[in-house]
Amino acid sequence: MVFFDNMGLLAVTPGMVLMWVIGLLLVYLAITRQYEPLLLLPIGFGIIITNLPLTYLMEPGEGLIWRFYHYGIEWEIIPPLIFLGLGALTDFGALLAQPRLIFLGAAAQVGVYVTFFIAYAMGFSLQEAATIGIIGGADGPTTIYLAAKLAPQLLGACAVAAYSYMALVPVIMPPIMKLLTTDAERKIRMEKGRKVTPREKLFFPIFAAMVIILLVPASAPLIAMFMLGNLFRESKVVERLNEVAQNSLMNVVTIFLGISIGATMNAENFLRKEVIFIFVLGLFAFMISTASGILLAKLMNLFTRNKINPLVGAAGVSAVPMAARVVQKVGAAADKKNYLLMFAMGPNIAGVIGTVIAAGIFISILK
Amino acid sequence: MQVAFDVFINGISGVFVGLGVLYVAIKLNKLLAGREVVKKEQ
Amino acid sequence: MATEVLVPLAGSIWEVLVEVGEQVEEDDELLVIEALKMENLVYAPCDGKVSEIKVKKGDVVEDDDVLMIIEDA
C-alpha cells in the first residue's frame, strides 16, 4: 500500500531518536529551568521536527523551514535585526560614564582568539575554528552571523553551545572570579562615574557607528543596526520605531531564528565527535574570556589610583545582562553594601561591541 | 599555521585598537556634548 | 545627627521594608531597588531611627537621590 510506503515511521534511524531526546532535553530545560527559553524552546522543537523523516522541511528550494533559514539566516537578515532591537534596549550610560572600562570588554575577547588557535591546532579548518572561538564572546546573534558566513555546518552546534553557556553564566563564572581575586579586591568599592548628558547619549550611536565601521568595515551589518536601534532610543522622537524594534520585531525574528537553528541540527550533521569538541572548546572560551577580563582589570589597577574592582572585568563576557548580574552577586557576597551592577554594565556592553569587532576581523581575513 | 597565527595577532590587536578608538571617540563626545549638566547648575 | 541614605544604584523602588519611626541598626535591610530585573537590597548606614522616607514603591530613582533619613538617637 502506498500509504504505508510513504509512512515516516519506517525511515526512523537511531540517530534521529537520539536527536529527539536532545530536542526534548532543550525544551525541558527551557521550560523547567528557564534556560534562555525564548531561544532554546523553539530550537529544541526545531530539532525534533527536523529529525522526523521524509518531511522535506529542510529540502533546499522547497522546505518551509529551509526558506526561513535561507532567507533569514543565510541571507544574514535576522541577526542584524536582533541587533537593531538590542541597540534599542541598550543604555550606553554606564559605558559613557566610565570609558576606561571599555578595555575590559576588549580583554574578554582574548578567549575568542585563544580558543580559535586551539581549535585550529586540533584540526578544525580556520573558518570552523573562528566560529567555535566566537562562542567565547557569549553573544548569540554574532555567533550565528559568523557561523552562517564561515561554517554553516557548525551553526546549530555553536548556537546551542553559545546559548546554553549564556544560561549557565551564573554557574561557570563565579568559581573563576573567586579563584583570580582576593577577598580585599572583591571588596573594592568603585567611585561613581560622572553624570552623562542626554546629548552625549544621542551623539554616541552616530559617532560609534562611524568609528567602528571605518575601522572594521566587515562589522558594518551588525554595528550599523545596533547603533540605529540605539539612535531610535536616544533620539526620543521615534518612540514607535523604538518600541517596535525592541519588542514586536525582535520577537518575530526570534521565532524564525529559533526554529531555523533547531532545524539545521539533523542527526548526521550533529551526531559527530566534533560536536563534543565544540561544546568543550566553547566552555573553555567562556572561561578564558572571564579570566582575561579580570586579569586586565588587575593590571589596570597597577597603574591607576581610582581602583577598579576586578570582578567587573568578568562582565566583559558579553552575555548581557547576566554577566553583570553575576558580578553584582559575587561582589555582594564579599561586601553586601557594594553595588557593582552598573559598573559591570560598561564592560558588558563593550564586550558586545568587542565580539562584533572580533567577528568582523575573522570575516575580513577568512572569508 | 602561519595564517592562524596572523589571525590571532591581528584579531587581538584589532579588538583593542577598535575599542581604543571608541574610547577616544567617547572622550571627544564628552568634550562636545558633555557640558549640559554644568549649564543647568549655573 | 541625621544621616541621609542615598541611592547606591539607579533603578526603581521594589519594596520599602521599614516604616517612619522604626528603630534600625547598621546593616539592617531598608528597602529593595530593582535594576536590570535584579533586586538589590539597600542597608542602613548607621544605627538610629527612621525619621523620614522620601520614596515609595514604584518610584524611579537616580544615583545619589535621598531615599530616607535616619536620626541618631
C-alpha–C-alpha distance, residues C58 and C14, integer Å: 6
Domains recognised in chain C with CATH numbers: 2-71 (2.40.50.100)
Which ipTM was obtained for this model? 0.93
Q: Which residue of B lies nearest to A200 if distances are taken between CA atoms?
A: B33
Give yes or no for residue A14 having a pLDDT over 70. yes
Give the integer Cα–Cα distance in Å for A248 and A263.
23
- The full DSSP string for A232-276 is HHHHSS-HHHHHHHHTHHHHHHHHHHHHHHHHH--HHHHSSHHHH
B21 contacts in chain A (CB < 8 Å): 211-212, 215
- State phi, psi for A88 to the nearest 5 degrees: -70, -25
Q: Which residue has the cell 514607535?
A: A240
Which residue on chain A is closest to C62 by alpha carbon? A195
pLDDT confidence band for B36 (50 / 70 / 90)? low
Tell me which chain A residues have a C-beta less than 8 angstroms from the C-beta of B41: none
- Residue-level pLDDT at B42: 45
DSSP C5: E
Answer whether C49's CB lies under 8 Å from C22's CB: yes
Q: What's the pLDDT score for residue C73?
A: 65
Predicted confidence (pLDDT) at residue A360 exceeds the cutoff of 70: yes
Q: Does A351 touch chain C (CB under 8 A)?
A: no
The shortest C-alpha distance from C9 to chain A (Å) reads 7
Q: What local confidence, expressed as pLDDT, does residue A319 receive?
A: 86
A300 near A308, Cβ under 8 Å? yes
**Between chains, do B25 and A195 touch, taking CB under 8 Å as contact?**
no
Cα separation, C5 vs C30, in Å, equals 9
Residue A51 has pLDDT above 60, yes or no: yes
A310, amino acid identity: P
Instruction: State the first-to-last Cα distance of chain B, in angstroms, to the nearest integer.
Output: 62
C42 to chain A: nearest residue by CA?
A337
Three-state DSSP class for A188?
coil
**From the list B5, B18, B35, which residue is nearest A212 (CB)?**
B18
- Cα–Cα separations (whole angstroms), residue A201 to A92, A97, A120, A178, B26: 7, 10, 41, 34, 10
Over the stretch A291-339, which tens digit does the pLDDT of each residue have?
999 999 999 999 999 999 999 999 999 888 899 999 999 999 999 999 9
* Every domain of chain B and the residues it spans: 2-41
Chosen for mutation from A202, A361, A364 (greatest number of chain B CBs closer than 10 Å) is A361
